Each structure stands twice: as structure tokens, then as C-alpha cells.
Chain A
Amino acid sequence: MERATGIGLRAPHLAQLERERPAVGFLEIHAENYLAPSTALQAVERLRLDYDFSVHAVGLSLGSVDGVDEGHLERVAGLVKRLEPRWISDHLAWSISGGRYFNELLPLPYTEEALDVVARNVQRVQEALGRPISIENPACYLAFRHSTLSEPAFLGELVRRTGCGLLLDANNVFVSAHNLRLDPQAWRVALPAAAVTQYHLAGHAVNDADGEPILIDDHGSAVREAVWALYADFVRSLGEHPTLIEWDTDIPSLEVLLEQAATADRLTAGARSHACVA
């Protein structure tokens, strides 16, 4: 079977990956972990000869009304130039305000004002990198009362204004839909299929919020059954795209991670034959 699904390259697996070079669709790194020179960056430079790379940023703060931090953007652009990754992405969120960096993907109100801000920032990043980036739907724990657009409508308009791609995180859709009492199928129906470039999959935790379950996108366990099912729906209606398994806390053995990737490959193949029959 074709290995199309990628895995996050995490420090505990680095030596084993270098040694064994397993078959996997691609490797993903968080841009912010590789902006300073290190032995890990040297390992990535060796691995990129054998693997496609996805550079996933978490700190461009595309939703910041302050604009993109030019110093940080310059460092990300340097990494992109050095690694020439196949994909570049960040989130529909903000994390910088007044010169303080909050290491958290913070929510935006989905308004025309926010759309102007995000579109301006995405354009600035694409201009600096000289290529389009993909924007990921965040895991939401709250919604602002004054939002006037749904998240998929906001993303669709962002695509129209900037030409960016969409990174559709099936786990984030599942988490947001549960927490905000929305229908997860709404994303599938409303997103512009032609803009989708990648899927993300991860595990989530179920926490207690004043006696009510709230889902937390903690990337700390295997992908849940309901998220696999939603992912298969996405593949059937939005098409096949490179998929990433994210597992960042309580990191399992490399074998477990590769098995999750193989499951995604099998589901994609299944969705493909299903689509042919239909």
C-alpha cells in the first residue's frame, strides 16, 4: 500500500528515524523548534534528502491585530529557504499581543474586522516566503458572541482573498463542534474543496468543565474512532490529500505512530474504492 500519511518528527524518535528510515509519507516539524541552530536541525537537514517535509508554524500569530512580527517571519523564511519544504502552514489563531507571546492558539471572533486582519497577515507571510501557505482550523473552546461568520465561511473568504490553502484538522473540527454545539459536517459542506491541501489527525482528551465534558485537543493519545469516521467523510467529499498524524504529549513508540499512519492510509484507500463504487 502507498504510504501517503506523514508523522510529526519528535525528538525521542530522531535517532531511530535516522537509523531505520521507515517508509512514511512525509515528516512534519514545528518551525519554532528549528529556528535556532542545533544538532536536531542538522539531523533534519540529513533526513530531508530522503523525506518530504512539512514546516508547520505555531507562532506566526496570523490573527494578531498588531500584524506579523517581522523578526520572527524573517527567521521562518530563513528556515523555509534552508529546508525547501513541500508544505508550509500555520493556524487561524493569534498568540501575540503588545509584544508578549502567549504559547497558545487563541481564538478570534469571526467578524469582517478579523477577516481583514488575518487576510493582511497571511498576504504578508506569503509575500515574504514567496509562496502560498495553508491555514489550519483551530480547536475551539469558546465562541465570541459578536461573530458574524461561521468558521468555514470565514476560512472560505480567507482563501478567496489571499489564495492560501486550507489545512483541515479533523480532530479540531470534532473538538470545536462538540465544544461549541455545532455540526461537524458543516465544515465538509461549506469549505471550498479545491483549497484543501492537507489533513491533520490527532487524539483528544475529555476534561471536566464545571461538570460538563469539554474536549481538549491535547495530541496525547491515538486518534479516536469518531474522528477516523469524520476523516473518512472528509476524504470522500473533499478529496485525498497528504495527512499528518500528530502526537505531541505522552509520545508513544515510533512503531505506534507508524501504525496510526498506516490506519490513515488504509482508510484513504477504502474511501477511494467507496467513491469509485458510488
Chain B
Amino acid sequence: MLALRELQAAFADHLAGRDRVDLLALVSGDSIPAAARIAVHRHHLGQSLSAALAATFPTVRALVGEDFFGRMARDFLAGFLPTQPVLAEYGADLASFIATYGPAAGLPYLADIARLDWALNVAAYAGPVRRLTAADLSAVSSERLPAHHLALPPGTCLIDSPFPLPDIWRASQPDAGEGVVDLAAGRCRLVVLPGSAGAFFVSLSNPEADFVAALAAGSSLEEAAGVAFAADATFDLSKTFARLIRLGTFAALR
């Protein structure tokens, strides 16, 4: 007999993949042997966490199929079990796991698609936050506006990838028609945002993305515009700013 602390530690080790044969002696067996009984729990754990990851990473799941995803999820959870019970917050490490996961080496964009799925998930659970509108900005004098800082809503994420993620994402949706994604289409810059009807992402041009990244890093409006102009002299500040306001990219003016 083990004390409860040792029993739970042994059971936990066994579920995490380290076979603990000492558990067998603790469990009653009959025509259903102890090992088969313990196996029910190990099987359920793999199944339920794999399903939770599939719900959080639907695009990854669609790209690799159910069998591959299930195997990958089990390999992942051997090293990365949840640390708390809210499964919508489980999977932060999957993208970096995929980046070095041998069997996925043939899909070099898969890790970035996982980053996009994760960012959409984070944005979906970020909670409602009021957004700045054009009316809010018109209340600030135009001479003083450039010195202001803009806060992005919690759950916002910028993604910079060498792959055309929006094309891959669209082709993986359940209602996508036949089509070929041109991986040579190259780099994308995305902003992922919480929205009133769920999370969404939009593509940004390079100077737009540089502008938003500078604001997110704490630059003033004037400094961020300077970064974007330095990257691309044709950067259209007023057009970009109007578009970002319409999308709900900013939560507060400071």
C-alpha cells in the first residue's frame, strides 16, 4: 500500500508516459486485468487532450488530418501536460514544439499556422474592451495628437511569417473550394484582433505592420509613423490610421 501522496504521484507519472508497474499491485483485477483498467484512464487522457488541442488548433488539424494530429498531440502532451484546468488556455507551446517536430518537417509553414491558430484562440478569450473611434480622436487637437501613445486591446497579436498564412488558412477552411496555394507568394504580416463576434485577423502591408509594432512597443504616434516612413516612403499615415481605427485596433489613447 502506498500513502495517497505516493499513489497520486505514481498514477500521474504513469499517465504522463512513464510506465509504473508498481500501480498494478494496488488495483484489483479479475476477468478485466488491473492493467486494462488503468489503461482506460491513460486512453481517455490522450483522447481528451488531443480533442482539446484540435479545438484550439483547427487549421493545423485540417492541414495534417485526424491521424497525424492525434499522434502529434500525444507526442506533445508527453512533454507538455496542462498545468491548470482551463483547456482553452492549453497549447501555448504547440507552435514551438511543431517547429522542431521531425514528422512535420515536410510542412515548414505548419508552426506559423499553429501560431496563427493560437493567436486567434487568445484573442477569442481576451474579453470585451472598448475601442477608440474616429470621434474619440477628433476630440484631441491635431497639434497634440502626434505625441500620444495608443494601447492595443488585450489579446492582440502581430504575426510575421515568411509564408502566405492567409492563403493557407483560407484553403484549410471547411467551406474552401479546390485551389492551389502558392507558397512562393511569400511573407505575410498579420494583426490578430479580438472582435465583438469573435477573433479575426487582417493582412497589413510592411509599413503598416511596422507602424502597429512600434505602437505596441510603446512608441508615440509620431515615432511610430517615423518608423513606417523609414521602411517605405510611400506610407500613407492618414489612410492607414483610418483603416486601423475601423478595425478596432486601438483600445486607449494616452
Given contacts A33-B88, A39-B198, A103-B82, contact A145 B26 (CB under 8 A): yes
* With A104-B45, A142-B37 as contacts: A59 and B127 at CB distance below 8 Å: no
B: residues with CB less than 8 A from A are: 1, 3-5, 7-9, 11-12, 15-16, 25-28, 30-34, 36-41, 44-45, 48-49, 52, 81-89, 124-128, 196-198
Q: Is the CB of A64 within 8 A of B8?
A: yes
Flag the segment in A17-25, A65-73, A261-269 that touches B: A65-73
What CA separation (Å) do A234 and B197 show in the bound complex? 44
Chain B residues within 8 Å of A75, by CB: 86
In the docked arrangement, what's the CA distance between A36 and B121, Å?
11
Within 8 A of B (CB), among A18-47: 32-33, 35-39, 42
Q: Determine, out of A2-10, A109-117, A224-232, the stretch whose residues face the partner at the interface.
A: A109-117
Taking the nearest CB of chain B, how far is it from the CB of A253, in angstroms? 19
In the complex formed, the residue of A with least CB distance to B82 is A101
Contact A65 B86 (CB under 8 A): no
Is A81 part of the contact surface with B, judged by Cβ < 8 Å? no
Q: Mark A113-155, 1 if CB is under 8 A from B, else 0.
A: 1100100000000000000000000000111111000000000
Give min CB distance, A82 to chain B, whole Å. Answer: 12
Complex-state Cα separation, A65 to B126, whole angstroms: 33
Chain B residue nearest in CB terms to A41:
B127
Chain A residues with CB under 8 Å of B11's CB are: 97, 106
Q: Is the CB of A36 within 8 A of B28?
A: no
Contact, CB under 8 Å: A212 / B37: no
- In A189-245, the 8 Å CB interface with B consists of 207, 209-210, 212, 214, 216
Residues of A contacting B32 in the complex (Cβ-Cβ under 8 angstroms): 179, 209-210, 212, 214
- 10 interchain pairs, CB-CB under 8 A: A32-B87, A59-B86, A66-B8, A109-B7, A117-B4, A142-B40, A142-B41, A212-B32, A214-B36, A216-B40
* B41 engages A97 (CB within 8 Å): no
Question: Can you list the 6 inter-chain pairs with the closest CB atoms, starting with the nearest?
Answer: A59-B85, A37-B127, A142-B37, A97-B12, A36-B125, A209-B36
Q: Besides A109-B26, A141-B41, A209-B37, 11 other CB < 8 A contacts?
A: A32-B86, A35-B86, A36-B86, A59-B86, A64-B8, A97-B8, A99-B83, A142-B27, A145-B26, A146-B26, A212-B36
Output the least CB separation between B237 and chain A (Å): 33
How close is B104's CB to chain A, nearest CB, in angstroms? 24
Whether, in the assembled complex, A247 has its beta carbon less than 8 Å from a beta carbon of chain B, the answer is: no
A36 close to B41 (CB less than 8 A): no
Docked CA distance A59–B82 (Å)? 12
Q: How far is the CB of B10 from chain A (nearest CB, A)?
A: 9
Instruction: Decide: B9 and A103 in contact? CB cutoff 8 A.
Output: no
Name B48's contact: one of A100, A104, A109 (CB within 8 Å): A104
Other-chain contact of A104, B41, B86, B126, B197 (Cβ < 8 Å)? B41
A214 to B37, CA, bound (A): 9
A-B contact count (CB 8 A): 134
Q: Which residues of A contact B40 (CB under 8 A)?
A: 141-142, 207, 209, 214, 216
Kindly list chain A residues whose C-beta atoms are within 8 Å of the C-beta of B9: 97-98
Inter-subunit contact B125/A38 (CB<8 Å): yes
Question: B11's closest neighbor in chain A, by CB?
Answer: A106
For the complex formed, measure the closest distance between the CB of A271 and the CB atoms of chain B, giving whole angstroms: 33
Report the separation of the CA atoms of residues A106 and B42 in the bound assembly, to the nearest whole angstrom.
10
Selected contact of B15 from candidates A36, A66, A104, A111, CB within 8 Å: A104
Please indicate the chain A residues that have their CB under 8 angstroms from the CB of B45 in the complex.
102-104
Q: B residues within 8 A CB of A102? A: 12, 15, 45, 81
A170 contact set on B, CB distance < 8 A:
none
Whether A143 touches B28, Cβ cut-off 8 Å, given contacts A97-B12, A104-B15, A106-B11, is yes
- Taking CB as reference atom, which chain B residue is nearest A116? B4
Report the nearest A residue to B3, measured CB to CB.
Answer: A113
**A164 is an interface residue with CB less than 8 A from chain B:** no
A94 within 8 A of B: yes
A212 to B32, CA, bound (A): 6
Answer yes or no: A181 CB below 8 A from chain B CBs: yes
A58 within 8 A of B: yes
- What residues on A are CB-neighbors of B83 within 8 Å? 99-101
Closest to B10 in A: A97
Interface centre among A65, A71, A75, A103 (most CB of B within 10 A): A103
* Contact indicator B38/A39 (Cβ below 8 Å): no
Provide the residues of chain B in CB contact with A97, threshold 8 Å.
Answer: 8-9, 11-12
Residue A162 at the chain B interface, CB threshold 8 Å: no
Which A-chain residue is minimally distant from B27 (CB atoms)? A142
- Quick check: B52 and A103 within 8 Å, CB to CB? yes
A180: chain B residues within 8 A (beta carbon): 28
Interface centre among B34, B39, B86 (most CB of A within 10 A): B86
Instruction: Provide the bound-state CA to CA distance between A100 and B8, in Å.
Output: 11
